[in-house]
């Protein structure tokens, strides 16, 4: 087995005294694990940093064997880890990718979207510039794994206008008129998730609650739920920023 690709580092853990096992997202071969000799060394740690773009080569005698992995840095995002909010965003979105995607299955849309989120975090002057991209990535990941939300029409009436809530049971949008009697049982649907563009802080917090509910219920139950600590750190920092 031989795979050469430009890939996004999603997760790394030490293995042995100096090695590391890295999980990288590739455009055509999906999430791929590999053993990096010396990957836990001082020289390699800045390369194998979540969010970095690397040139990767995976080699194994069979598909069942853990591949040996060599990497060269293409683009570093190490500087963003000096800033708490961008660091929390990168930590969360890469950890979510690493823990939920099955290995070896191609997800080209997710690769492009993740690369876009990381680029937005790097380029935007404030979190309002990249929060929407991150939240849409969460929605896309749910959809790609078979748990997509339907935000196109009302579950009760079929209406496509004035969609204001999402049913926590069906994951489908509900119009303001149809949902008014049950508002306390529905999840608010921020319009920017449908219309695009930037959002204000209250709507970003509503969107975090919305996507978080379905991620927690459908993808992160059980041992996978340990990555929710990273999401809580992100939401706590956004909450403080919104309140300050």
- Mean pLDDT (the chain) is 93
- For residue 231, give the CATH number of its domain: 1.20.1440.120
- 10 Å Cβ neighbour count for 124? 16
Contacts of 220 (CB under 8 A, 6+ apart): 99, 100, 227, 228
Here the tokens at position 222 are 């059980």
Output the tens digit of pLDDT for each of the chain's 244 residues: 899 999 999 999 988 778 899 999 999 999 999 999 988 888 898 999 999 999 999 999 877 789 999 999 999 999 999 999 999 999 999 999 999 999 999 999 999 999 999 999 999 878 888 999 999 999 999 999 999 999 999 999 999 999 999 999 999 999 999 999 999 999 999 999 998 877 888 899 999 999 999 999 999 988 888 899 999 999 998 888 877 6
Q: Which strand ranges, in their side-by-side order, compose the sheet holding 163-166? A: 173-175, 163-166, 187-188
Q: Is the domain of 147 the same as that of 211?
A: yes
Q: Is the domain of 132 the same as that of 218?
A: yes
Last residue of a domain, one of 24, 55, 76: 76
Here the tokens at position 207 are 């969107």
Q: Is the domain of 108 the same as that of 20?
A: no
Give, in degrees to the nearest 5, the angle at Cα 194 between 191 and 199: 45
Tell me how far apart the alpha carbons of residues 146 and 140 are, in angstroms, rounded to a whole number: 10
Predicted pLDDT of residue 244: 65
Tell me how far apart the alpha carbons of residues 217 and 214 are, in angstroms, rounded to a whole number: 5
Tell me whether residue 99 is in a domain. Answer: yes
The pTM of the full predicted model, rounded to 2 decimals, is: 0.94
C-alpha torsion angle, residues 180, 147, 191, 230 (rounded to 10):
110
Residue among 173, 146, 141, 148 at smallest CA distance from 160? 173
Q: Is the domain of 210 the same as that of 242?
A: yes
Tell me whether residue 163 is in a domain. Answer: no
- Asked whether the beta carbons of 153 and 170 are under 8 A apart, the reply is no
Here the tokens at position 235 are 């939401």
Q: Is the domain of 97 the same as that of 43?
A: no
Q: Is the domain of 107 the same as that of 215?
A: yes
Q: 69-109: per-residue pLDDT in tens?
A: 999 999 999 999 999 999 999 999 999 999 999 999 999 99
- Asked whether the beta carbons of 213 and 186 are under 8 A apart, the reply is no
Question: Domain range holding 24?
Answer: 1-76
Last residue of a domain, one of 27, 45, 76: 76
Q: Is the domain of 111 the same as that of 214?
A: yes
Strand partners, 187: 166
Tell me whether residue 56 is in a domain. Answer: yes
Last residue of a domain, one of 29, 55, 76: 76
Tell me whether residue 177 is in a domain. Answer: no
Predicted pLDDT of residue 160: 92
Predicted pLDDT of residue 103: 95
Tell me whether residue 173 is in a domain. Answer: no
Count structural domains, the chain.
2
Q: Is the domain of 19 the same as that of 127?
A: no
Residue among 139, 115, 50, 48 at smallest CA distance from 87? 50
Q: Is the domain of 119 the same as that of 21?
A: no
Q: Is the domain of 230 the same as that of 198?
A: yes
Here the tokens at position 164 are 């204001």
Tell me whether residue 43 is in a domain. Answer: yes
Here the tokens at position 7 are 């890939």
Q: Is the domain of 222 the same as that of 139?
A: yes
Here the tokens at position 21 are 């096992």
């Amino acid at each position: 087995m031989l795979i050469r690709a430009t890939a996004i580092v999603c997760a790394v853990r030490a293995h042995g005294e100096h090695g590391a096992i890295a999980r990288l997202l590739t455009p055509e071969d999906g999430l791929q694990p590999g053993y990096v000799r010396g990957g836990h060394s001082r020289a390699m740690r800045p390369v194998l940093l979540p969010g970095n773009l690397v040139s990767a080569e995976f080699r194994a005698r069979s598909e069942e064997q853990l591949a040996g992995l060599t990497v060269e840095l293409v683009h570093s995002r190490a500087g963003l880890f000096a800033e708490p909010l961008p660091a929390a965003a990168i930590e969360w979105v890469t950890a979510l990718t690493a823990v939920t995607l099955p290995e070896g299955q191609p997800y080209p849309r997710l690769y492009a979207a993740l690369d876009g989120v990381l680029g937005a975090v790097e380029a935007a002057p404030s979190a309002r510039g990249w929060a929407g991209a991150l939240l849409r990535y969460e929605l896309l990941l749910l959809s790609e794994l078979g748990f997509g939300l339907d935000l196109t029409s009302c579950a009760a009436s079929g209406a496509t206008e004035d969609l204001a809530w999402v049913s926590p049971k069906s994951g489908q949008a509900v119009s303001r008129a149809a949902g008014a009697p049950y508002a306390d049982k529905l999840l608010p649907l921020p319009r920017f998730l449908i219309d695009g563009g930037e959002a204000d802080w209250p709507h970003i917090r509503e969107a975090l609650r919305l996507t978080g509910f379905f991620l927690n219920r459908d993808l992160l139950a059980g041992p996978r739920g340990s990555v929710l600590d990273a999401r809580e750190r992100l939401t706590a920092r956004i909450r403080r920023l919104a309140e300050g």
